[in-house]
Amino acid sequence: MVHRDPNISRETAAGFTGGGRQVRILHVPKLEVHNIVMEFPAVRALDGVSLSFERGEVHGIVGENGAGKSTLMKILGGVQRPTSGTMELDDSPISLGGVREALRHGIAMIHQELNLVDELTVAENVFLGREVTKAGLLVRTRMVEETDKILRQVHATFSASDKVANLSIAGKQLVEIAKAVAVDASVLIMDEPTAVLSEPEAESLFELIAKLKAHGTTVLYISHRLAEVCAICDRITVLRDGAWVTTVEARGANPAELARLMVGRPLQDFYPPKTAQPEGDPALELRGFCGANLAVRQGEILGLAGLVGAGRTELAEAIVGARPASGGEILIDGRPQRIRNQKDAMKLGIAYVSEDRKGLGLHLSLNVIQNVTMANLRAYGNVVLNRKAESSSAETWRSDLDIRAGDFHSEVLSISGGNQQKIAIAKWLETKPRILILDEPTRGVDVGAKREMYKLIQRLAAEGMACIVISSELPEILGICHRTVVMREGRVVGELGGNEMSEEAVMHLAAGVAAA
């Protein structure tokens, strides 16, 4: 059930399309870009990239954050205009002036950031801007029917007439995908589509991609999950620092090799060696707290696994008082405590680094220094702020966490995901916590930065921090955690330690199937 092995999934994909790989024999260049250059005020995001995408191919684009993947896709999708360069569709030059024009050429994009109207239904979102009408009136039934048809293909658990606001993040991602599929695009750009999907949901997405491909659709697929890219793509292009590095056949490519090409140096063992399992009394203990029983010691890294929607984030938010707790007890150093809001949590030394960096974790329009000191601003003055102290403390974090952002007075918005994540962590380390909850700490973070993040978490633990790591990437949990607690449908359903921890064991608990 866990198709992490590239070979297994490739066979599935091929079987599904009836030998989908053969479609490429046509060799009709579908979309070509020549010498694309994109310059931003501070950086040259793309430095003369030329690529050709063939009809009916699934083309993976990989690279570290800041390599230019998203910029290239935004140019193809008409969201951004390149500084220079040309594009050809079926050998005739095209210029893209906007999303609408790109759509007219049959190029549709699924954005990393969700662009949905929460207050409308799924069907209304899918047909937004191209509603089916009769004499100026909406024909609801047709739109709902067609949407439901697509939703069934992606195995969505919701229906076309549900309100988008009520869907989980994963659900919203599926709506975005349905939206792009519904326009019957000939080129479909997917930017990190599986980042928020659970494994079964991702599997249905891969099936859908195989179907689209059999249909002759070109799929450009960006992902940080290299195994996944190797499994579902035909060819893979590696970008580094805005330049093309290589394009390889996915057959025979392996994640380690790709990772090496992306960073330009060999990666040592991906997960740093684990520290010894610490002994002692728990720093944080939950007793029936929101349906969870768990404990974490000083110096311990506890994994919190489960499918998307299992209630891990909700539990973490309840611990720090960001949402009301439903019963149970919370003990800090063995003493029961009441946490009504984030301030109480902070006083008890609990910090929570949210999975939603852009929405909850950081102030994107404020600068690095302001973000780093935001949660601990009282330390820099009760009335008048000591701005010198603020910036020197930000500098300390810069060297301590190796935050790579040239100008600390620039907006956090313009900084890469990995460094944003470090800033979010610095912001909470500022409050000198003893218990640190990290929610999806490596989401949207590139390979090199991921490893750094693992090292950082282990270092913090070695220094005595009690860490809880929430992650949807199982290898990550298995790679860095001492123990793993698995949640399903809002409750803790099991705990695995030491040798019991394996992808299979975790998935059995997470999905609620009896172990084989």
Partner 1 sequence: MKRANLLSEYGALLALVLLFIVNVVTRGGNFLQVENLRNLVSQDASVGVIAIGMTLVIIAGGIDLSVGSMTAMCGAVVILLANKFAAGGMGANQAILCAAIGSVLAGAVAGLFNGLVVAYGRVAAFVVTLGGLAGFRSIALVLGDGGEIRSQVSSLQDFGFGGIPIPFVKDASGGPVLFYWSAVVFILVALGAGFVLNRTRFGRYVIAVGANPRAAEYSAINIQMVRLAVYTILGALVGLGAMLVAAKMNSVGTGSVGLYYELDAIAAVVIGGTSLRGGKGRIWGTVVGVLLLTLISNMITAYHIDTNWQGLVRGIVILVAVLIQRGRKEND
Q: Which helix (H) or strand (E) holds 150?
A: helix 140-153
Rule CB under 8 A: is residue 236 a binding residue for partner 1? no
Q: Could you say which residues in the range 319-358 bind partner 1, by CB under 8 A?
A: 322, 341-343, 345-346, 352, 354
State yes or no: residue 89 binds partner 1 (CB under 8 A).
no
Part in contact with partner 1 (CB under 8 A); list of ranges 126-134, 221-229, 373-381, 467-475: 373-381
DSSP bridge partners of 53: 31
* Under rule CB under 8 A, residue 360 binds partner 1: yes
* Nearer Cβ to partner 1 (227/360): 360
When asked if residue 454 is in the footprint of partner 1 (CB under 8 A), the reply is no
- Residue in 139, 169, 374, 405 binding partner 1, rule: CB under 8 A: 374
Q: Which of 139, 169, 380, 495 binds partner 1 (CB under 8 A)?
A: 380
Nearer CB in complex with partner 1: 9/393: 393
Shortest Cβ distance from residue 230 to partner 1 (Å)? 36
Angle ∠(153,313,297) on CA atoms, nearest 5: 135
Residue range at the interface with partner 1 (CB under 8 A); choices 174-182, 201-209, 376-384, 395-403: 376-384
Is the CB of residue 1 less than 8 Å from the CB of residue 10? no
Asked if residues 21 and 13 have their Cβ atoms less than 8 Å apart, the reply is: no
Type of residue at 344: D
Lookup result for tokens 């929405």: 359
Residue 59 or 427 having the CB closest to partner 1: 427
Strands 335-336 and 329-332: antiparallel
Query: Does 397 interact with partner 1 (rule: CB under 8 A)?
Result: no
Q: Say how many residues touch partner 1, by CB under 8 A.
A: 32
d(CA 208, CA 217): 11
State which residue, 66 or 193, has the beta carbon closest to partner 1: 66
What is the β-pairing status of strands 133-134 and 107-110?
A: unpaired
388 near partner 1, rule: CB under 8 A: no
The answer to whether 432 contacts partner 1 (rule: CB under 8 A) is no
Of 221 and 428, the one with the shorter C-beta distance to partner 1 is 428
Measure the CA angle with vertex 361, ends 358 and 365; round to 5°. 55
378: contact with partner 1 by CB under 8 A: yes
Using the minimum distance from each CB to partner 1, give the nearer residue, 63 or 78.
78
Do residues 412 and 439 make contact, with C-beta atoms less than 8 angstroms apart?
Answer: no
Q: Does 405 bind partner 1 (CB under 8 A)?
A: no
Look at the block and give the residue holding tokens 């599926």: 174
Q: Is 366 in the site for partner 1 (CB under 8 A)?
A: yes
| CB of 17 or CB of 420, closer to partner 1 | 420
At 508, list the tokens: 């059995």
- Unique residue bearing structure tokens 């009769």: 134
Output the smallest distance, CB 386 to partner 1, in A. Answer: 10
Of 122 and 362, nearer to partner 1 (C-beta) is 362
Nearest distance in Å: CB 382, partner 1: 7
Q: Which one, 335 or 378, has the nearer CB to partner 1? A: 378
Contacts 24+ apart (CB under 8 A), 164-171: 164/116, 164/117, 164/118, 164/119, 164/120, 164/121, 164/122, 164/125, 165/118, 165/119, 167/122, 168/308, 168/309, 169/114, 169/196, 169/308, 170/196, 170/197, 170/198, 170/201, 170/308, 170/309
Tell me if 37 contacts partner 1 by CB under 8 A: no
Q: Which is nearer to partner 1, 221 or 352 (CB)?
A: 352
58-62 β-sheet, strand order: 107-110, 187-191, 218-222, 58-62, 235-240, 243-249
**DSSP letters along 472-503, please?**
S-HHHHHHH-SEEEEEETTEEEEEEEGGG--H
Query: Where along the sequence are the contacts to partner 1 (CB under 8 A)?
Result: 41, 322, 341-343, 345-346, 352, 354, 359-366, 370, 374-375, 377-378, 380-385, 387, 411, 413, 427
